[in-house]
Structure 1
Amino acid sequence: MERDVRTMDDVMRMLDRMLAADARNTPDWWDRFYSNRAKPIPFFAAKPDENLVSCLERGVLAPGRALDLGCGPGRNAVHLASLGFEVDAIDLSPEAVSWGRERAREAGVDVRFHCADMFSADLRLGRYDLVYDSGCLHHLPPHRRVGYLDLLDRVLVPGGHLGLTCFAAGAMGSELSDEEFYRQGDLGGGMAFEPDSLRWIFSDYTEIELRPMVEQPPDAPHFGVPFLLAALFRRPAAR
């Protein structure tokens, strides 16, 4: 009889296989998604998130070292770099990373793009004042949240900030319980979160802001859609 589990990494890989029907966890799926740049998809536009812009303009966030998780074609990473941040950006998709590099060159800014899985990448490049996640968390299987929180502990400085956007319950994404995702065998295109769910997941952090994203008109300079939650948390200055 074959046995597959001896380490925690084995457990993680086994649980990954249980949700293998959700192709959004593969680079190939995301490469196909990003390959047609002419698609009329709002977040393909080179516009930063309205909540990120708001925090920067209000002085809640100040230039420093930033890590953009699941950066896609780099719209937030490029904006941060334009304001003086030192930026690393990581994504699974070679197509997205290539597009992001092109945008950074066009904007005349320096962003260090990394094409990798954030759980296996060597991100010990220093510690970050800001970790920003626009749409990555809601595509992670529940068991991978453990590694996500461990990653934040490794790379985010005490007193640093986590900013994120994710599917809002009642607006977008699947509202199954964590256990039911494994019974179903896929993530249903992404999981939705209630505000209190985010507060619970990041209960070791201080909540600075948690609200629906403000919808932006098509000609606005910023990105905003009503089916996302926008949050900002601060890691305690001392543990």
Structure 2
Amino acid sequence: MDRHSGEGTDRSIRTTEDVLRLLDGLFAPDADRWTDDAASWWDSFYGDRSRAVPFFPAKPDENLVAHLDDGLIEPCRALDLGCGPGRNALHLAARGFEVDAVDLSPAALAWGEERARETGTKVRFHRGDAFELTRRTLGGPYGLVYDSGCFHHLPPHRRVSYLQLLDRVLAPGGYFALTCFADEHLGSEVSDAELYRDGRLHGGLAYSAESLRWIFQDLTEVELRPMRERGEDAEVLGLPFLWTALFRRPA
């Protein structure tokens, strides 16, 4: 046995993915909120459905509804990342999209499946790590990749994985839509370097408009704006502490 191999020694890095997983461990237990081991944390989060969590009601994001109403995005095959109880996935399916929805939490997916049965809506729910699922099962292409609240829970090094995911599954000419914590409103504004020194994600990362444009610079910006505020009685979700962004992959 080679004394520098992974077995019998602490020499476990051979691939880029090995490096990423090592960095994941630097954020434990905070990073457990998004890794595959996070099911119990998110299950407890979704366990009490009566809590006044703005993301719990079956309301789609106001920006998503606006994009569909304006005809920017036509029905196509769609992927919902971090779908939770399926509020956006169900709306897409009701509007004629063929939807795959991914989340780590069995409790969230069970809730989404209940809603789908109650409304007669067809969504394919998948439990697991989106990075792994899109490598092995959900290969795309998707005309729309939608993310409402997943991206801002990723540690900085996983942005690399995220961009690779988009490169794998987003169809040429397809759309990527995102909502995430906005700087000066909600989320941590600690620098990337300081996050590694702290070993914590502080509950989620805030982004500036400029940082989002820089991260997704290989895509064409269609729109980037604050989410429009909507009241509790509205049929859509509108929270002003979030950015909403729509990008398109060059055809």
Fold match, TM over 0.5? Answer: yes
Q: Distance in 2 between matches of 1:119 and 1:206?
A: 23
Give 1:38's aligned residue.
50
Q: Distance in 1 between matches of 2:10 and 2:170?
A: 40
**Cα deviations across residues 54-85 of structure 1 (Å, max 9, x unaligned)?**
00000111111100000000000000000100
Give 1:156's aligned residue.
170
SS of 1:172's partner is coil
Calculate the TM-score normalised by the size of structure 1: 0.97
Letter in 1 for 2:126: H
Residue 169 (str. 1) matches residue 183 (str. 2)? yes
Q: Distance in 2 between matches of 1:3 and 1:155?
A: 32
Tell whether the 8 Å contact from 2:140 to 2:170 is kept in structure 1 after alignment.
no
SS of 1:164's partner is strand
Which residues of 2 match residues 54-203 of structure 1 at below 5 A? 54-121=66-133, 122-203=136-217
Q: CA deviation at 1:230?
A: 0.4
Letter in 2 for 1:221: E
SS of 1:44's partner is coil
Q: Distance in 1 between matches of 2:139 and 2:26?
A: 32
Tell whether the 8 Å contact from 1:123 to 1:155 is kept in structure 2 after alignment.
no
1:17 alignment partner, one of 7, 18, 25: 25
Change (3 A) 1:42 1:124: closer
Q: CA deviation at 1:5?
A: 1.6
**Cα deviations across residues 76-130 of structure 1 (Å, max 9, x unaligned)?**
0000000100000000111111111111111111000000101111343431000
Tell whether the 8 Å contact from 1:66 to 1:128 is kept in structure 2 after alignment.
yes
Q: How many residues in Structure 1 have an aligned counterpart in Structure 2? A: 237
Residue 206 (str. 1) matches residue 223 (str. 2)? no
Q: Distance in 2 between matches of 1:153 and 1:79?
A: 25
Which consecutive residues of structure 2, in runs of 5 or more, have no partner in the other structure? 1-8
Letter in 1 for 2:13: V
CA RMSD of aligned residues (A): 1.0
SS of 1:223's partner is coil
Larger Rg: 2
Which consecutive residues of structure 1, in runs of 5 or more, have no partner in the other structure? none
Letter in 1 for 2:83: C
Calculate the TM-score normalised by the size of structure 2: 0.92
Give 2:5's aligned residue.
none
Give 2:12's aligned residue.
4
